[in-house]
Amino acid sequence: MKTDPDQGPLCLSETGGGVATVTLNRPDARNAMNLPLLRQLVGALRDAREQGVDVMLLKAEGPAFCAGADIRSDDGTAEGRPGLRRRLIEEACDLVEAFPASVAAVQGPAVGGGWALAVAATVTLATPRAMFRFPELRLGFLPPDQTVRRLRAAVGPAAAFRLLVADERFTGDDLARLGLVDVVEPADLGHRARHLAEQFAAAPSDLVRTLRTSLTA
């Protein structure tokens, strides 16, 4: 009998060395975010913050980081909560940003809400050919406010407008030139991301929180 791949753990989480590692685990669907994955992701991020973990590493299984919202799945309408999928994506982005330090490791396509998750991290590492794209406006949606705010602060309003509106495909190399990501070769991505997260965790947590507040005020 064929099993439903969405019945398993769609988001993996473990904590060690002062780092909460959260892994999107729906590789057959390019880690597209349906309601089950989003609920598990939000739950994992909440649990890590409630446990007092200050550093989070976000990564994904398979060749894609995250293909964005799974628009072929229920957005919450079937359970009487239309728009729930978008609200959960926004909550996940807010939770990622709430960590005093976070690292996103992007090995492949990061589209729409997937790119929003990466933008929410303190530092994003990406392979040179990782692909980033925001198709939201073409689909009739605005990007999350938090994403707009962070991109504007990072690259200025004109560049942020192009990134969000043009529906272009940007590589890791493209975004590195804008200062949005650090480029890492594919073979080194996992190690470099883990090492950076552990470096953040080794710093005095109270000073990290204070510095993060100063930088984002």
183-209 confidence digits (pLDDT tens)? 999 999 999 999 999 999 999 989 998
Answer yes or no: is 214 within a domain: no
Give residue-wise pLDDT tens across range 31-71. 999 999 999 999 999 999 999 999 999 999 999 999 999 98
Residue 129, domain extent: 5-208
Domain count for the chain, please give it: 1
Length of the chain: 217
Give residue-wise pLDDT tens across range 135-164. 989 888 888 888 999 999 999 999 999 999
Q: For residue 4, is pLDDT > 60?
A: no
**pLDDT value for 5:** 55
- Enumerate long-range contacts of 148-156, CB under 8 Å, 24 or more apart: 150/97, 150/119, 150/120, 151/119, 151/180, 154/178, 154/179, 154/180, 155/179, 155/180
Q: Under DSSP, is residue 125 helix (H, G, I), strand (E, B) or coil?
A: strand
In this prediction, residues 7-24 reach a mean pLDDT of 94
Answer yes or no: is 216 within a domain: no
Which among 105, 104, 66, 68 has a CA at the least distance from the CA of 186? Answer: 105
Give residue-wise pLDDT tens across range 74-122. 989 998 899 999 999 999 999 999 999 999 999 999 999 999 999 999 9
Instruction: Tell me the residue type at 212.
Output: R
Answer yes or no: is 124 within a domain: yes
In this prediction, residues 154-176 reach a mean pLDDT of 95
Structure tokens at 135: 């198709």
Structure tokens at 111: 């589209």
Question: Domain containing 89 — which CATH number?
Answer: 3.90.226.10
**pLDDT value for 52:** 94
Answer yes or no: is 131 within a domain: yes
Answer yes or no: is 213 within a domain: no
Answer yes or no: is 87 within a domain: yes
Answer yes or no: is 26 within a domain: yes
Answer yes or no: is 71 within a domain: yes
**pLDDT value for 17:** 92
